[in-house]
Copies of this chain bind each other. A is one copy, B any other.
């Protein structure tokens, strides 16, 4: 094999489908962020309930530690998934159509951080709501209809679903 001549052609022309995205092109879905945000609320509920009957046992500490860690991971996942859709899928043009977009994403980051820092239901519920708003914008951009419905698992808050 020899040195390749076509350096001009180095930057490959991808098909239009992949031109606007990181890999995996097109398979963006805010549902993962929404499930994670909902899990944050669930962990807050379980932590609150858990500390109502506090004991000094290893088992108590074990469960407390695991609930906090799960809350942490899902708050982080919420941030990460939203960042990917915002940073990879959403274009300059979208921020003109939805001028509140950047601020919304920034507020999701803030709420997720605060949900990590505290065991505070109100904050975590707000996080779910903001991620719902984000999901709504996402599906609008994709030209899909949405519907609000209760999640089929505790804490059974409403999520914004794509209409199947």
Which positions in A face B, CB cutoff 8 Å?
1-4, 6-7, 9-12, 14-15, 17-18, 21-29, 31-32, 35, 38-39, 42-43, 46-72, 74, 79, 83, 86-88, 92, 95, 102-103, 105-106, 109-110, 112-113, 116-120, 142, 144, 147, 149, 152-154, 161-164
CA distance A83 to B60 in the complex (A): 27
Residues of B within 8 A of A43 (CB): 23-24
Contact flag A10-B58 (CB < 8 Å), given A15-B49, A42-B27 = yes
Determine which residue in A23, A63, A118 has the highest number of CB atoms from chain B within 10 A of its CB, and name it. Answer: A23
Q: List residues of chain B with CB within 8 A of the CB of A112.
A: 87
Contact pick for A59, options B11, B60, B113, CB 8 Å:
B11
B153→A26 contact, CB < 8 A: yes
In the complex, the chain B residue whose C-beta lies closest to that of A35 is: B29
Residues A72 and B66 in contact in the complex (CB < 8 Å), given A6-B55, A55-B9, A103-B102 = yes
Which residues from chain B contact A163 at a C-beta distance below 8 Å? 164
Docked complex Cα distance between A20 and B63 (Å): 14
**Judging by beta carbons under 8 Å apart, are A109 and B88 in contact?**
yes
7 further A-B contacts with Cβ under 8 Å, apart from A29-B153, A95-B103, A142-B152, are A23-B63, A27-B39, A31-B31, A51-B56, A62-B118, A66-B117, A88-B113
Minimum Cβ distance to chain B for residue A71 (Å): 8
Residues from chain B with a CB closer than 8 A to the CB of A62 are 47, 68, 71, 117-119
